[in-house]
């Protein structure tokens, strides 16, 4: 006689436990990323914004690109307005993940989200 | 009858045992802030037995301060050497002094650890003021690490010279802590002794360099493996008098705060004492001589000047990310443009 070792329900329980364990380990290892949005105009960084510290609306008119309006709010950042004809930068929408980038070519303005989670600061 | 559930129970027991073993074997994280050496010390230690390591490291830092390096604590070795203008050194202090003498010589005197009296004259640490020029001259005539004589385990120096480990003590503390982390085979640690940093472990760490203009943001972020990182900056401690700003890093040649266009010098080294002493030496030496000095010790360096330009040694250029608004990466004068 063939003995059925595992019932379907047992497999589900074991799989769920394994998934929870893996999820927990990943969460522990990755931690919460401290994201920084770096704004540069014509190749030079003009401002950086710690996204995790931004809760209420912050309006930024970057130095060197006065016709651009950037807004940071609730851990996200976006081009809200620009004098450029195509408004591609505004259409790019919200940036909030490491590596997210939006460019306004006519205004030579770039926003990049970096995952600069700092371990320490020297001074 | 055979129990159908038995294999499941055995399986579950094995998984439970393995998980329990894994939990016990996992290194713990321990965070501790305390004040020592006139500054804030922060430990972030990940290790098995992190509690014990943290306690031992804290005791070591406190003992290093009060029993060895402090100029004020009557029980310290440096206090007694200063009081007697020399004497028998412990092996430990002998080693520190030999490293610092090397930095003194190679920096052409830009780093000098015998200027305790000069620092007191300026009143940094208390109520600072600009001292009269003749007083500065008097002290400079009596001081200088070149006036030190070492004979076996004995040191002698003239009255007037006052040993001051203020520009190396934080780095020495990092070396001492590292020894403890090694002993307990800690997995990972981030240690800050008043802004001098030890990142310890087998991964890459991100270390920000404080923005000299803002006190909160950071000008650049370094990606480093295990290393000690120290910064000397004119923004850290200063006072204003007669419309002028005076910072606390004194140039041993003039007796006045060093003025050469640098606002911050960061040095990265395996050795804490070297990173700390060299950051001061480089700050006083200025851009070009400072860069050459750091490289002569095999260290990497990042300098920021008053025009918000950030200079690096070639070895760390690719690991330096500019994150502060208005800063630009600059090429060393005289060096060929990097590609």
CA distance A38 to A101: 10
Residue A103 falls inside a structural domain:
yes
Inter-chain residue contact A45 with B197, CB threshold 8 Å: no
In chain B the first and final C-alpha atoms are separated, in Å, by 79
The 8-class DSSP code of residue B73 comes to: -
Residue A31's pLDDT is 41
**A83/chain B closest Cα distance in angstroms:** 22
Query: Chains A, B: CB contacts under 8 A, how many?
Result: 85
pTM here is 0.75
Question: Could you give the ipTM of this predicted complex?
Answer: 0.84
Residue A14 falls inside a structural domain:
no
Residues of A in contact with B233 (CB under 8 A): 123
CA distance A25 to A16: 14
Residues of B in contact with A63 (CB under 8 A): 325-326
CA distance B61 to B54: 11
Contact B287, B260 (CB under 8 A): yes
CA distance B122 to B116: 10
Q: What is the tens place of the pLDDT at every residue in B232-286?
A: 999 878 888 889 999 999 999 999 999 999 999 999 999 999 999 999 999 999 9
Contact A117, B221 (CB under 8 A): no
Element holding B250 (H helix, E strand)? none
CATH code (residue A65): 2.60.320.10
Asked whether the predicted pLDDT for residue A118 surpasses 90, the reply is: no
Residue appearing with tokens 């600059």: B330
Residues of A in contact with B192 (CB under 8 A): 120-122
Rama region for B168: left / alpha / beta (φ>0; ψ in -120 to 50; rest): alpha
Closest residue on chain B to A116 (Cα): B206
**A27/chain B closest Cα distance in angstroms:** 15
Confidence of residue B336 (pLDDT cuts 50, 70, 90): very low
Inter-chain residue contact A120 with B323, CB threshold 8 Å: no
Closest residue on chain B to A46 (Cα): B325
Question: Residue ranges of the domains in chain B?
Answer: 28-63+89-339
Domain tally, chain A: 1
Asked whether the predicted pLDDT for residue A61 surpasses 70, the reply is: yes
CATH among 3.40.50.10110, 3.10.520.10, 3.40.50.300, 3.40.50.740 for B28-63+89-339 = 3.10.520.10
Closest residue on chain A to B6 (Cα): A5
Show the beta-strand stretches assigned E in B7-49.
28-36, 39-47
Q: What is the mean pLDDT of residues B204-230?
A: 88
Query: Of A4, A45, A120, which has the smallest distance from its Cβ to B322's Cβ?
Result: A45
Domain that holds residue A45: 36-114
Rama region for A113: left / alpha / beta (φ>0; ψ in -120 to 50; rest): beta
Report the alpha-carbon angle B316-B107-B148, nearest 5: 140
Closest residue on chain A to B279 (Cα): A123
Residue A25 falls inside a structural domain:
no
CA distance A83 to B265: 41
Residues of A in contact with B231 (CB under 8 A): 122-123
Residue A83 falls inside a structural domain:
yes
CA distance A47 to B256: 34
């Amino acid at each position: 006689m063939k003995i059925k070792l595992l019932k379907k329900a047992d497999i589900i329980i074991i799989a769920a436990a394994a998934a929870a364990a893996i999820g927990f380990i990943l969460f522990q290892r990755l931690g919460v990323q401290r994201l920084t949005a770096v704004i540069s105009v014509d190749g030079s960084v003009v401002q950086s914004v710690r996204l995790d510290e931004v809760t209420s609306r912050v309006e930024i008119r970057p130095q060197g690109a006065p016709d651009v309006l950037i807004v940071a709010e609730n851990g996200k950042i976006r081009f809200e307005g620009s004098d450029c004809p195509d408004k591609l930068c505004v259409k790019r929408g919200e940036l909030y993940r490491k590596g997210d980038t939006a460019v306004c070519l006519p205004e030579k303005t770039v926003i990049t989200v970096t995952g600069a989670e700092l371990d320490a600061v020297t001074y | 009858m055979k129990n159908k559930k038995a294999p499941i129970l055995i399986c579950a027991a094995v998984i439970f045992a393995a998980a329990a073993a894994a939990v016990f074997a996992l290194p713990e994280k321990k965070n501790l802030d305390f004040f020592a050496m006139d500054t804030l010390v922060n430990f972030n230690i990940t290790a098995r037995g992190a509690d014990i390591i943290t306690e031992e490291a804290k005791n070591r830092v406190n003992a290093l301060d009060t029993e060895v390096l402090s100029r004020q604590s009557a029980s310290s070795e440096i206090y007694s050497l200063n009081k007697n203008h020399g004497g028998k050194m412990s092996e430990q202090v002998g080693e520190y002094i030999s490293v610092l003498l090397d930095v003194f010589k190679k920096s052409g005197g830009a780093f000098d650890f015998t200027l305790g009296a000069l620092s007191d004259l300026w009143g940094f640490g208390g109520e600072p003021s600009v001292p009269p020029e003749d007083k500065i001259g008097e002290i400079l005539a009596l001081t200088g690490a070149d006036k030190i004589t070492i004979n076996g385990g004995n040191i002698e120096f003239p009255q007037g010279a006052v040993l001051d480990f203020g520009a190396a003590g934080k780095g020495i503390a990092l070396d001492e802590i590292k020894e403890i982390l090694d002993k307990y085979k800690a997995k990972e640690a981030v240690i800050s002794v008043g802004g001098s940093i030890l990142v310890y472990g087998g991964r890459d760490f991100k270390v920000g360099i404080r923005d000299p203009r803002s006190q909160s943001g950071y000008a650049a972020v370094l990606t480093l493996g295990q290393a000690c990182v120290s910064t000397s900056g004119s923004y850290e401690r200063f006072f204003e008098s007669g419309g002028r700003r005076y910072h606390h890093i004194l140039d041993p040649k003039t007796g006045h705060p060093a003025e050469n266009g640098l606002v911050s010098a960061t040095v990265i080294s395996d050795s804490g004492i070297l990173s700390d002493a060299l950051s001061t030496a480089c700050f006083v030496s200025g851009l070009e001589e400072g860069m050459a000095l750091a490289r002569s010790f095999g260290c990497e360096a990042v300098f920021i000047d008053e025009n918000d330009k950030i200079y690096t040694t070639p070895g760390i250029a690719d690991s330096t990310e500019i994150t502060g608004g208005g800063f630009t990466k600059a090429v060393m004068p005289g060096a060929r443009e990097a590609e």
